[in-house]
């Protein structure tokens, strides 16, 4: 690597050309990059649960709809109903809409003088108020309609819009939603009856999240740049020193996004933090290089010699920090969760690209840049007093520092014990956001907006209609109805048919399965079995129960699934197989897997970094010693999350891994400088003080830039980005304090260690 570095110094223009060529090669990928805030990034197509959910959707239809709700205290007037019927028809004609389920399209079973008939819930719209009120009363008496298409108070009607499968790569959900919004806008302008109308549904969450992510990239990205630039200028008072880190950071971000575009990766809730991560981390290594270059100039070295001296001081540290971070992220890459795998690969590639651009650009631009005198004239902040205080504290206040570290560690452990695992996409949005408000409205009007399904497999053809299976099915259905806001399945339809066929709703329920079967046979002999088609598969061996509830997060969904399966194991026989499925169920399971994987990934990362540090410093003790302060940021972050009530979710999981990677960087630079100074000084105190003098500026500058850069995310409209910003800031602050106090304290305490110098000339504390 020193040979490559020397070639870069000798041929600066060639190095700039290579950097430009690499950027030019990757930049076309930017045009291929997409923002995808859907849950697809969570799911692996090879996952058994995902495959089963796909099979269920193929058999029973999608469980994801866009729902339009029209609410008015005068819903049952001729003008309002006529307007809503017209609206339903217009929505059916929208390109990309597979169908609309509404009061005007769904059929209901009727019995007049013992004669059965099937007709739409609303066939004709009466003109007289008395007839309208009678129609309202009849619909409110339809158990299959209430809670699905009309609320219990009769003042809100729902239109469930099923979206057709996409053709090619088009974003069919966005196209359909846009057309519906235009239709509703025209509806408000032209309609005489003007009920309150709003949209709700998973596709809307995706679209809103996409807009928030795009806002943060376009609006907050430049703010982060200005913030980082301001911090760097404060510590170094040089336009060149400010320009270089920002240049490599921006180029690294563009190259990383280009790679993501070529690789088919998208910017999703997992990868949305990558831009700020690469931008901020891309600046840190430059500052260490520039600090060392400035130190060489102040030691009366010429510009060429000061640049050349970098290969003996920071080059090894630069290689090691980049290698540990790349391998750390790469250790996560085998994860089966698509978004997590893409996040890991993109981060690893981004850090590697930043290393390449830093190596190609910074020495070359220093070589071609302004003369050394411009650096020597700078009036940088005097940090000598801070260095003296830190050195004094390490030697005189060791017990006090140890007690403080122990106290905060215990506090963090207690907070971490309160940490909850919960992913709720609604929680990603602010409380008073449009998405949050419409979901609250829908929950008030229809009793919950969270949907999932329960499938019952009898493992035999036409098994659903066997009396023994019906007995199991009705028992499960009643249990679900007792717990959730809206439950719809075969049992509801069979009971409705039974009520109409027997015309005796008060009949005792003791032999209900037998009655349901007989009523169904009478009905199918006249009308066929189409009424149950949405709930029974092709060979009538499996049925589905659709559930809507107030459950919002993966934690509640996990508990619901466990309670259902517990009821099944206790109260049902082995004749039927029951599974809980749905997008929210998959999210809750994957959230669990991510947490388990996070522990594994952190352990692997720990081992990888330990091995690399041990090889570099030629001591296993130093390898493990260096990781102690780097565990503190993770502990501090989890502790804060526990005390603040921020759950570990798909939006915040990356904090621990990134915090570890950031913390390791400054620790490696500190250790490298300490061992370098140990070879040149006779005492530990002198070596430590020289280390502080050399590293305090870049450590403070990078940490402050990182903290303020991430705090900019507090101004994001996306709540998950706000939480990520504060968590990263806490992690970096903890890493800074660990590097300034814990790392030197451990080095001093371990002063009896020997033979740990990477140069092999002396031990860590100057002993030959």
Question: 445 in a domain, yes or no?
Answer: no
Residue 765: its pLDDT value, please? Answer: 37
pLDDT at residue 755 is higher than 70: no
Average pLDDT (724-751) is: 86
The Cα 335–Cα 601 span in angstroms is: 9
Q: Which residues contact 478 (CB under 8 A, 6 or more apart)?
A: none
Residue with tokens 């008015």: 72
Residues 213 and 272 sit within 8 Å (Cβ to Cβ) = yes
CA separation for the pair 498, 518 (Å, rounded): 8
Assess whether 13 and 106 both reside in one domain. Answer: no
Alpha-carbon gap, residue 768 to 762, rounded angstroms: 5
Backbone angles phi, psi at 486, to 5 degrees: -140, 120
Q: What confidence tens digit (pLDDT) does each residue in 529-577 have?
A: 667 777 888 888 899 999 988 887 888 888 999 999 999 999 998 888 9
d(CA 421, CA 370): 53
419 and 462 fall within a common domain: no
Q: Is the pLDDT of residue 589 over 80?
A: yes
Lowest pLDDT segment from 74-78, 226-230, 609-613:
609-613
Rank 269-273, 332-336, 564-568 by mean pLDDT and report only the highest.
564-568
**Ordered DSSP codes for 730-748:** HHHHHHHHIIIIIHHHHHH
- Which 3 state secondary structure label does DSSP give 490? helix
Q: Please indicate whether residue 209 or residue 454 has the higher confidence score (pLDDT).
A: 454
3 state SS of 137: helix
Find tokens 């959707």 and name the residue: 57
In angstroms, the CA 522 to CA 537 distance is 21
Residue 254 in any domain: the answer is yes
Instruction: Count the neighbouring beta carbons within 10 Å of the beta carbon of residue 611.
Output: 14
Classify residue 472: in a domain, yes or no: yes
Which range among 1-10, 112-121, 246-255, 599-608 shows the weakest confidence by mean pLDDT? 112-121
Kindly state whether residues 485 and 398 are assigned to the same domain. Answer: no
Say if residue 740 is in the same domain as residue 595: yes
Does residue 421 sit in helix, strand or coil? Answer: strand
Q: What confidence score (pLDDT) does residue 414 get?
A: 95
Rounded CA gap, 244 and 305, in Å?
20
Helix (H, G, I), strand (E, B), or coil: what is residue 197? strand
Residue 529 domain-assigned (yes or no): yes
> Residue 696 domain-assigned?
yes
Question: Within 13 Å of residue 316, how many CA atoms lie on the same side as its CB?
Answer: 17
Picking from 305, 329, 271, 199, the residue whose alpha carbon sits closest to that of residue 33 is: 271
| pLDDT, position 475 | 92
For 506-540, letters b (16+ CB in 10 Å) and e give eeeeeebbebbbebbeebeeeeeeebbeebbbeeb
Whether 299 is in a domain gets the answer yes
- 128-136 long-range Cβ contacts below 8 angstroms, 24+ apart: 132/76, 132/77, 132/78, 132/81, 133/76, 135/76, 136/76
DSSP states of 452-487 as a string?
EEEEEE-SSTTGGGSHHHHHHHHHHHHHHHTTSSEE
| Residue 40 confidence class, pLDDT cut points 50, 70, 90 | low
Give the mean model confidence (pLDDT) for residues 327-344: 77
Could you give the count of Cα atoms lying within 13 Å of 44 in the half-sphere of its Cβ? 17
Tell me: do 184 and 295 sit in the same domain: no
Give the integer Cα–Cα distance in Å for 690 and 680. Answer: 10
Residue 438 is assigned to a structural domain of this protein: no
Where in the sequence is the domain holding 652, given as residue range(s)? 2-41+206-428+588-749
pLDDT tens-digit readout, 131-185 = 999 989 888 888 778 888 899 888 999 998 888 776 655 667 778 888 888 888 8
CA separation for the pair 707, 521 (Å, rounded): 70
Of 325, 432, 443, the closest CA to residue 69 belongs to 443
Band of pLDDT at residue 507, cut at 50, 70 and 90: low
C-alpha span between 270 and 412 (Å, rounded): 25
C-alpha atoms less than 13 angstroms from C-alpha of 564 in its C-beta half-sphere: 27
Q: In the 8-state DSSP scheme, what is residue 27?
A: G
Pair 408, 457 in one domain: no
Sorting pLDDT into bands at 50, 70 and 90, what band is 759?
very low
Crossing angle, helix 315-330 and helix 583-617, to 10 degrees?
A: 150
Q: How many residues does the chain have?
A: 768
Same domain, 392 and 265: yes
Asked if residue 554 lies in contact with residue 500, where contact means CB atoms within 8 angstroms, the answer is no
CB neighbours of residue 562 within 10 Å: 11
Q: What is the model's pLDDT at position 408? A: 92
DSSP one-letter string for 92-131: HTSTTEEEEESTTT-EEEEEETTEEEEEES-SS--SSHHH
Q: Using DSSP, how many helices (H) and how many strands (E) does the chain show?
A: 28, 12
- Please give the Cα distance from 137 to 320 (Å, whole number): 75
Return the CATH number at 276.
1.20.1640.10
Least confident of 9-18, 477-486, 676-685, 754-763: 754-763
Work out how many domains the chain is built from and give that number: 3
User: Cβ contacts of residue 588 below 8 Å, gap of 6+?
Assistant: 423, 554, 555, 557, 558, 561
> Phi and psi for 717 in degrees, rounded to 5?
-75, -10
Q: Give the residue from 200, 230, 257 where a domain finishes.
A: 200
d(CA 531, CA 418): 49
Does 222 share its domain with 368?
Answer: yes
Name the residue among 2, 203, 12 with its Cα closest to residue 96: 203
Give the CA radius of gyration of the chain. 33
Residue where a domain stops, chosen among 147, 171, 200:
200
Residue in 506, 511, 503 with CA at minimum distance from that of residue 470: 511
Distances (CA, A) of 581 to 63, 373, 578, 639, 643: 10, 69, 10, 33, 33
Number of C-beta neighbours around residue 376 at 10 A = 11
Which residue, among 288, 256, 250, has the nearest Cα to 353 in the 3D structure? 256
pLDDT tens sequence across 91-115: 988 888 888 888 888 877 766 666 6
The answer to whether residue 454 is domain-embedded is yes
Residue 190 and residue 231 in one domain: no
How do strand 266-267 and strand 34-35 relate by DSSP bridges? parallel
CA angle, residues 235, 640, 351, in degrees to nearest 5:
50
**Residue 29: which pLDDT band, with cuts at 50, 70 and 90?**
very high
Of 664, 683, 558, the residue nearest 607 (C-alpha): 664
**Angle at alpha carbon of residue 421, lines to 418 and 426, rounded to 5°:** 120
Same domain, yes or no: 222 and 335:
yes
Confidence of residue 757 (pLDDT cuts 50, 70, 90): very low
Cα angle 471, 474, 478; round to 5 = 140
Q: Are 618 and 487 in contact (CB under 8 A)?
A: no
State whether 624 and 577 are in the same domain. Answer: no
Q: If you average pLDDT over every residue of the chain, what do you get?
A: 81
Placement of tokens 């709703």 in the chain = 505
The residue from 185, 200, 215 where one domain ends is 200
- Residues of the chain with pLDDT > 90, as a percent, come to 14
Residue 634 CA to residue 366 CA, distance in Å, equals: 36
Is the domain of 632 the same as that of 738? yes
Token readout for 149 is 């298409």
38-52, 420-434, 730-744 — most confident range: 730-744
CA distances from 748 to 54, 215, 360, 615, 690 (A): 59, 48, 37, 21, 14
Higher pLDDT, 328 or 686: 686
Return the minimum-mean-pLDDT range out of 585-594, 694-703, 750-759.
750-759
What does the alpha-carbon distance between residue 647 and residue 703 come to, in Å, rounded to a whole number? Answer: 25
């Amino acid at each position: 690597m020193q040979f490559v570095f020397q070639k870069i110094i000798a041929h600066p223009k060639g190095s700039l050309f290579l950097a430009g060529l690499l950027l030019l090669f990757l930049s076309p990928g930017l045009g291929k990059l997409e923002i995808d805030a859907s849950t697809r990034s969570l799911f692996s197509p090879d996952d058994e649960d995902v495959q089963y959910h796909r099979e269920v959707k193929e058999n029973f239809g999608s469980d994801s709809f866009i729902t339009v709700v029209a609410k008015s205290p005068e819903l049952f007037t001729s003008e309002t109903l006529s307007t809503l019927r017209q609206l339903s028809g217009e929505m059916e004609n929208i390109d990309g809409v597979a169908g609309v389920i509404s009061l005007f399209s769904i059929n209901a079973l009727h019995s007049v003088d013992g004669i059965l008939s099937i007709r739409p819930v609303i066939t004709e719209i009466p003109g007289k108020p008395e007839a309208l009120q009678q129609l309202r009363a009849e619909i409110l008496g339809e158990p299959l309609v209430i809670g699905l298409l009309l609320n219990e108070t009769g003042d809100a009607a729902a239109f469930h819009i099923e979206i057709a499968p996409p053709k090619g790569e088009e974003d069919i959900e966005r196209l359909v939603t846009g057309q519906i919004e235009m239709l509703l806008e025209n509806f408000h302008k032209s309609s005489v009856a003007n009920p309150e109308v709003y949209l709700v549904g998973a596709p809307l969450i995706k679209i809103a999240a996409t807009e928030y992510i795009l806002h943060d990239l376009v609006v907050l990205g430049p703010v982060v740049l200005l913030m980082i630039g301001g911090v760097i200028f404060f510590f170094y008072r040089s336009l060149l020193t400010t320009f270089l880190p920002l240049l490599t950071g921006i180029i690294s971000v563009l190259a990383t996004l280009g790679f993501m575009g070529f690789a088919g990766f998208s910017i999703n809730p997992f990868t949305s933090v990558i831009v700020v991560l690469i931008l901020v981390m891309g600046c840190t290594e430059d500052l260490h290089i520039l600090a060392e270059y400035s130190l060489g100039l102040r030691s009366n070295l010429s510009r060429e010699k000061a640049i050349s001296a970098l290969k003996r001081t920071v080059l090894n540290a630069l290689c090691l920090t980049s290698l540990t971070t790349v391998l750390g992220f790469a250790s996560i890459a085998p994860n089966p969760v698509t978004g997590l795998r893409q996040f890991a690969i993109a981060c690893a590639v981004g850090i590697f690209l930043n290393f390449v651009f830093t190596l190609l650009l910074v020495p070359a631009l220093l070589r071609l840049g302004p003369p050394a005198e411009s650096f020597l004239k700078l009036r940088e902040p005097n940090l000598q007093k801070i260095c003296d205080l830190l050195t004094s504290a390490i030697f005189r206040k060791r017990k006090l520092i140890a007690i403080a570290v122990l106290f905060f560690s215990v506090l963090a452990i207690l907070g971490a014990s309160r940490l909850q695992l919960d992913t709720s996409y609604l929680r990603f949005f602010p409380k008073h956001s449009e998405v949050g408000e419409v979901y609250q409205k829908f929950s008030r009007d229809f009793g919950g907006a969270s949907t999932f399904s329960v499938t019952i497999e009898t493992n035999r053809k036409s098994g659903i209609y066997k009396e023994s299976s019906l007995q199991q099915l009705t028992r499960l259905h009643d249990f679900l109805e007792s717990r959730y806001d809206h439950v719809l399945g075969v049992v509801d339809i069979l009971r409705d048919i039974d009520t109409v066929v027997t015309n005796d709703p008060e009949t005792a329920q003791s032999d209900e399965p037998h009655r349901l079967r007989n009523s169904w046979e009478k009905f199918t002999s006249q009308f066929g079995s189409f009424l149950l088609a949405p709930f029974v598969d092709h060979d009538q061996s499996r049925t589905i129960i659709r559930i809507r509830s107030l459950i919002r997060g993966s934690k509640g969904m996990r508990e619901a699934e466990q309670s259902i399966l517990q009821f099944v194991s206790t109260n049902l026989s082995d004749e039927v197989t029951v599974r809980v499925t749905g997008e929210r169920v998959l999210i809750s399971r994957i959230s669990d897997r991510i947490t388990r994987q996070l522990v594994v990934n952190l352990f692997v990362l720990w081992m990888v970094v330990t091995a690399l540090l041990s090889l570099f410093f030629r001591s296993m003790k130093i390898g493990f010693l260096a990781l102690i302060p780097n565990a503190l940021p993770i502990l501090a972050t989890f502790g804060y999350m526990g005390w603040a009530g921020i759950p570990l979710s798909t939006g915040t999981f990356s904090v621990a891994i990134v915090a570890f990677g950031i913390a390791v960087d400054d620790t490696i630079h500190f250790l490298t400088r300490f061992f370098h100074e140990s070879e040149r000084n006779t005492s530990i105190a002198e070596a430590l003080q020289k280390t502080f003098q050399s590293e305090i500026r870049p450590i403070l500058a990078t940490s402050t830039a990182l903290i303020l850069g991430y705090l900019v995310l507090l101004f994001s409209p996306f709540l998950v980005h706000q939480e990520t910003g504060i968590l990263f800031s806490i992690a970096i602050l903890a890493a800074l304090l660990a590097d300034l106090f814990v790392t030197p304290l451990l080095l001093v305490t371990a002063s009896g260690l020997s033979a740990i110098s990477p140069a092999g000339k002396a031990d860590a504390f100057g002993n030959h």
